[in-house]
Amino acid sequence: MKNLLKEKVKKGEITIGTIVSLGHPDVTEWLSQVGYDWLFLDAEHGAMGLETLQQMMQSMKGANCTPVVRPQWNDHALIKRILDIGAHGIIVPMVSSKEEAKNAVRACKYPPAGIRGFGPRRAAMFDPDYLETANDETLTIVLIETEAAIRNIDEILSVEGIDVGFMGYDDLSLSMGFGQPPKWHEPRYLEAFDKVIKAANKRGKIAGLHTNLSNSPGNVYWALDRGFRMVTVSDADTFIIQGAQTTLEKAREAAAKVKPFQGRD
């Protein structure tokens, strides 16, 4: 197994991805050819099962774009099956303690480093070296999205096998009592982002963040300038809606310039 994304992460390179919650292989096929380093396949909130996830990853074959999946929970049975169908990384939601981080690592690794059961059906089908390389090459990302996770961030990122601490700013805002949308002017909220970056730097890990292209804090420019090195920018749903809206607006502008039809003579 060769994980191009993990190689870039280990070098400290900036990696850019986007979130896909639409359960269809056409979406991942198209986006994997655009030039993203990785796709964040969201099985926690997206309507997709294992069969669909497998097809989505199969459609990315041949692209230099890495499939990383967020399961519904920090559950070794779910994580095992996602890795077996070909994911190169797991984004474990709601990791708030050192023990939960250890459980995430155990789920992603074969013994003796972990408890992953052997049966990498699709993952090893054309890779005779999969078993020997999977533990080192699989990317293990923990989602930092609660106030407890911020308090325990140094311990979480001290766990061997954790590669990235990726922040979920919406759930973090809710957990801290700031509601939605996040209150970017709140000092305590902003301080949480700096704590994650500081802990990641201290532990030789990477800090990640979901971002957008808005003018508010939390955008991709803000995130990269602050020290985040693994980011997602927007999502497939937004691409479709914004593209459709832009196209419709242009068409409406064109229609407004046309003289009303007066009928035939």
Is the CB of residue 41 less than 8 Å from the CB of residue 29? no
Q: What is the three-class DSSP state of 178?
A: coil
Which tokens sit at 40? 């964040």
Which residue from 204, 131, 121, 221 is spatially nearest to 161, judged by alpha carbons? 204
**Tokens matching residue 124:** 């090893």
Cα–Cα distance for residue pair 146/174, rounded to 1 Å:
8
Distinct helix (H) and strand (E) counts, the chain = 12, 8
Active-site residue, from 24, 45, 88, 185:
45
222 vs 226: CA distance, rounded Å: 6
CA dist 142 and 244 (Å) reads: 34
125 DSSP 8-state letter:
T
DSSP for 218-232 reads TSHHHHHHHT--EEE
| Residue 76 annotated to the active site | no
Catalytic residues: 45
